[in-house]
Structures are given as C-alpha cells and as structure tokens.
Amino acid sequence: GQNIDQPTEMTATEGAIVQINCTYQTSGFNGLFWYQQHAGEAPTFLSYNVLDGLEEKGRFSSFLSRSKGYSYLLLKELQMKDSASYLCAVSNDYKLSFGAGTTVTVRA
Amino acid sequence: TAGITQAPTSQILAAGRSMTLRCTQDMRHNAMYWYRQDLGLGLRLIHYSNTAGTTGKGEVPDGYSVSRANTDDFPLTLASAVPSQTSVYFCASSDGGELFFGEGSRLTVL
C-alpha cells in the first residue's frame, strides 16, 4: 500500500515563495504527481517527476528524491489565485494514490 | 472541449436506494478511475479500469460496482446506499500519464 504525508495547511504572503513537502512509502513507484485543486473544483495537473531532480515549469517547480521517498512543490511569486489545495500523488502500477492535500492560503 | 463529463452534478439519495453515477470521456483514454474525496482523507480510489472490458478494485471498493462496456463510459453504481457513502465522487481518465478529472458528483445519502 501507500503512505503519503503532506502538511495540512500553509499560509504565505503574496509575492513570496512557499515549499510544500511530501513524503511517501510505497511498494512500487512509477512516478510522482502534483495536482492543484481550487475549492469546489476538480483537481488539475501541475507536474510529474519520475527521475530524481528538479522539474521547473514557470512559477512552479517540483523536486523528487526516490531514495528518500521525498518530494516538494515550490511555488514562487505567489499570487492570490494560487490559494488552493495541492495534492501529492504517487503512481504505483499506474494507479495514483493521493495524500490528503495541503491547503495554501495566500494573504495580501 | 468536453474531456470528461459526469452526471449528475449533485444528488440527494435516501439510504437503501440505488444510484448510478455516469462518466463519459471523449479522449479515447484506455484507463478510467473512480475516486471519492472526503474532508481530511483526500482522494481514495474506488475502482479502476485499465481498458474496455476489464475492471479492478481500488482502496475502498465495498458497496460500489463498475462496468466498462466500451472505451468511453465508466458508470459507478451504489446498489444500496448508506450515509457513509456521502462524498464527492470524481471520475478520471488517463492515457498512461497524468489523470484528467471530471467536475465531480456530490452525493448526499440521508
């Protein structure tokens, strides 16, 4: 099975940087995904890591260390619209298991 | 662009009644999934299908059944609903990469 842990809540100021950590224990691993979910909406794909290292996509970056069972999502130049839940998900046998999500609140 | 369509958007159901949540995708993805999302627990996999004609159990399959008669449709049935099945249900599809989610179906069982 999977055990995926991420913080429940984080608060940051507009224009700042926030790092959301995710640790996981899994019996198999095909990759790690990050999703964004605004309240009342469906999750939308942000990033995918299958090899160790940093993947950068605009203001969002994601890092993976497979040996440590660790990933983080870095959000730079925070905007009010970034207030949302961020879901860490591990792929095992091409089925995704999700963490409970981290609610990020961006304050002006 | 339709992507994944779920119906109904919202439903209130009496305990003991049956209900089918519909899911249709137009992306010709082989794999489809049903998740439920509950506060504090995140998304949990109910059932999945890797390709038309096959289905499998996820983390929380009890009380639910699915079928996959063709590539596009993946309905989820609750044979006899119970209050603990009150949740938001998301259907998703994949071509082997990221999941694409429908807008969700909010089900309340009283």
> Is the predicted pLDDT of residue A1 greater than 60, yes or no?
no
Average per-residue pLDDT for chain B: 96
Contacts of B48 in chain A (CB under 8 A): 95
Of B41, B48, B104, which has the smallest distance from its Cβ to A95's Cβ?
B48
Residues B32-60 pLDDT 10s: 999 999 988 899 999 999 999 999 999 99
pLDDT confidence bin for A94, thresholds 50/70/90: confident
In which band, very low, low, confident or very high, does the pLDDT at B1 lie, cut at 50, 70 and 90?
low
Q: Please report the residues numbered 40 through 69 in chain B whose beta carbons come closer than 8 angstroms to any beta carbon of chain A.
A: 40-45, 48, 50, 58-59
Is a pLDDT exceeding 70 seen at residue B103? yes
CA distance A41 to B50: 25
Distance CA A46, CA A33 (A): 7
Q: How many CB atoms lie within 10 A of CB A8?
A: 10
CB B72 within 8 A of CB B82: no
What would the mean pLDDT of A38-64 be, rounded to a whole number? 96
The reported pLDDT for the residue numbered A100 is 95
With 80 as the cut, is the pLDDT of residue B2 above it? no
pLDDT tens digits, A34-46: 999 999 999 999 9
The string of DSSP letters for A31-67 reads EEEEEEE-TTS--EEEEEE-SSEEEEETTEEEEEETT
- % chain B with pLDDT above 90: 93
Report the C-alpha gap between A16 and A83 in whole angstroms: 13
Dihedral angle at the C-alpha atoms of A95, B101, B103, B78, nearest 10 degrees? -30
A–B: how many Cβ contacts below 8 A? Answer: 45
Q: With an 8 Å Cβ cutoff, are A100 and B40 in contact?
A: yes
Whether the per-residue pLDDT at B96 is higher than 90: the answer is: no
Contacts 24+ apart (CB under 8 A), B57-64: B58/A95, B58/B33, B58/B34, B59/A1, B59/A97, B60/B36, B64/B34
pLDDT in tens, B76-88: 999 999 999 999 9
Contact B104 A48 (CB under 8 A): no
Query: In the structure, what pLDDT confidence band is assigned to residue B15 with cuts at 50, 70 and 90?
Result: very high
Please give, rounded to a whole number of angstroms, the shortest distance from the CA of A48 to a CA of chain B.
Answer: 8
CB contact (8 A) between residue B42 and residue A44: no
As a whole-number percent, the residues of chain A with pLDDT over 70 amount to 98
- Considering only CB atoms, which residues of chain A are within 8 Å of chain B? 1, 33, 41-45, 48, 87, 89, 94-101
More confident residue, A1 or B52: B52
pLDDT exceeds 70 at position B69: yes
Q: How confident is the model at residue A27 (pLDDT cuts 50, 70, 90)?
A: confident
Burial class (CB in 10 A: 0-12, 13-18, 19+), A40: exposed
Beta carbons of A42 and B96 less than 8 Å apart = no
Tokens for B92, please give them.
């998703």
Residue B97's pLDDT is 85
Average pLDDT over residues A58-68: 97
